[in-house]
Structure 1
Amino acid sequence: MSTYNWNAQDYEKHSQAQQKWARELINKLSLQGTEDILDLGCGDGKVTAEIAQSVCDGSVIGVDNSASMVKLAAERYPAVPNLTFQVMDASHLRFDECFDVVFSNAALHWIKNHQPVVEGLYRSLKPRGKILLQMGGKGNAGVILSVLSEIQAYQKWQPYFENFEFPYGFFGVEEYESMLLNSGFKINRVELIQKKMEHAGNTGLEGWIRTTWLPYTERVPEEKREKFIEAISEKYIERVPMDTEGRVHVAMIRIEVEAEKIA
């Protein structure tokens, strides 16, 4: 999994949609309150802390490969007794039959090869344990990606994108089902779901681009980065105009995965 220079505080301000989707996903877990849970790709920890409140007689570990995110999470939630955070790469999980549930929201699409991730998930679960994952799926953020491709081809920006490779793992249903079966999982559900993000005008859209599209923005020198972000935002709003209340809408496609370890 690639490591980018996450600005944890800035991300915290511009990740409301991810938190909303995470809450919807948590409700699908039907927690009893005694589970041991791994939050994979915990980010700033706010979702992980909400999960911990739902399992007062269980435990939650949040892991992320960003040290700045884990540091912020630990600082934000130091007094939650059943909650800890660790720096760890999702492709190299170091757990052995520790968890009843592995939960992940809006994180795993940062990894291009998911087979090692899925195998690590299987090892991490107790027998009868389950995974519930949601991430960017096939066709995700199609318009914003089209805009990014157009902008990076401009003469002004093109030199910074020599040998650029698409950085995300956006999988379809059949691809993910194959990885799950290869790792020993019993599949309960894999589906693509349409979602919509809303941002408060140019400022909100630019904040989201700045904090989450790092594979693109970090290619550009820091002194030119804001202009690059502004160009993306302007081009996107040309394609998808704001609504009458000044909100910018971004169509997203998520893949949601539910499976269990039957061994």
Structure 2
Amino acid sequence: MSSDAHAIWDAERYQARHSYVWQFGEAVIDLLDPHPGESIVDLGCGSGQLTAKIAERGARTIGIDPSDEMIAQARANFPSLDFRIADAASLTIEDPADALFSNAALHWVNDQAAAIASIWRALKPGGRFVAEFGGKGNIRRIIEAAGGANPWFFPGIGEYSALLERQGFEVRFATLFDRPTRIEGEHGMEEWLGMFGSALMRDPKSVAEKLRPEMYRDGGWVLDYRRIRILAIR
């Protein structure tokens, strides 16, 4: 779930307070449809929960993340699985994989063309690339409340499909959809901003107060997530 830059992530905080990230990602595993014996790379694996879910279906997995902290947490959580420190733009693996999976990670990547080229090289001919991440319009109101700067990559279907096709991928499935995401607690928005928006939002309390009238209800916050989900074949 972390970026292609070697930023410092609070892995324990992520695991304890932001489990919805990988819980929503379980639906993307259904699109991946892993089979026993397949080799599958989980790019942006975070603390490893979805890598483990894929492994439970019988696949041989490699979890990849640029964050030392996240990989340390993943190895502690699932010591029998293979986790490695690498970023999306310079990913290399010894043997091409049957599939590459990514959940809630690719919107952090700065060089999308380099990442897509790395994904291409990591796959066997006919291998599948399955991903979900922030899509066009994701957290629009949060960005506006913070002043409009957007360090993330939130593409539409056409934009991202064109990047994949330029590399040689065949896009078989793509969808862009609203996924309102609830964060529990009075200070849930500040917690989210502290975890995921700290580089952008220097005053999370002020941003949260701007958003409170429209996003806070019944003891929690409903964030305006939009996701792109895609399946492409090498």
In the superposition, the TM-score normalised over structure 2's length comes to 0.92
Q: Does residue 198 of the first structure (1) align with residue 196 of the second (2)? A: no
1: distance between equivalents of 2:166 and 2:105?
22
Structure 2 partner of 1:137: 135
User: Structure 2 residue aligned with 1:188, among 146, 165, 172?
Assistant: 172
**1:19 Cα offset (Å):** 1.5
Structure 2 partner of 1:230: 205
Q: What amino acid is the match of 1:17? A: Y
Structure 2 SS opposite 1:214: coil
1: distance between equivalents of 2:198 and 2:71?
18
Q: What amino acid is the match of 1:255? A: I
Does the 8 A contact of 1:97 with 1:127 survive in 2? no
User: Structure 1 residue aligned with 2:25, among 22, 29, 41?
Assistant: 22
2: distance between equivalents of 1:36 and 1:189?
21
Structure 2 SS opposite 1:216: coil
Unaligned runs of 5+ in 2: none
Structure 1 partner of 2:125: 127
Does the 8 A contact of 1:190 with 1:257 survive in 2? yes
1: distance between equivalents of 2:176 and 2:160?
11
1: distance between equivalents of 2:29 and 2:116?
20
Does the 8 A contact of 1:22 with 1:47 survive in 2? yes
2: distance between equivalents of 1:138 and 1:14?
25
Structure 1 partner of 2:108: 110
Structure 2 SS opposite 1:19: helix
Q: Identity over the aligned pairs, expressed in percent?
A: 29
1: distance between equivalents of 2:94 and 2:119?
9
Structure 2 partner of 1:85: 83
Does the 8 A contact of 1:109 with 1:135 survive in 2? yes
Q: Does residue 173 of the first structure (1) align with residue 173 of the second (2)? A: no
Deviations 1:97-133 (A, max 9, x none): 5211100000010013311111111110012110101
Structure 1 partner of 2:73: 72
In the superposition, the TM-score normalised over structure 1's length comes to 0.83
Deviations 1:159-201 (A, max 9, x none): xxxxxx6311111111111111111111101221210110113
Structure 1 SS opposite 2:216: coil
Deviations 1:205-247 (A, max 9, x none): 2222211113225xx4xxxxxxx222222221133231xx312
**1:27 Cα offset (Å):** 1.5
Moved more, 94-103 or 42-51: 94-103
1: distance between equivalents of 2:106 and 2:50?
15
Structure 1 partner of 2:215: 240
Q: Does residue 13 of the first structure (1) align with residue 16 of the second (2)? A: yes
Structure 1 SS opposite 2:152: coil
CA gap of 1:112–1:45, structure 2 versus 1, over 3 A, is same
2: distance between equivalents of 1:214 and 1:177?
30
Q: What amino acid is the match of 1:90? A: A
Q: Does residue 207 of the first structure (1) align with residue 210 of the second (2)? A: no
Structure 2 SS opposite 1:215: coil
The structure whose Rg is larger is 1
Moved more, 11-20 or 190-199: 11-20
Deviations 1:64-87 (A, max 9, x none): 111111111111111x3xx21011
Does the 8 A contact of 1:14 with 1:211 survive in 2? no
Does the 8 A contact of 1:60 with 1:84 survive in 2? yes
Does the 8 A contact of 1:96 with 1:123 survive in 2? no
Structure 1 partner of 2:49: 46
| Number of residue pairs aligned between Structure 1 and Structure 2 | 231
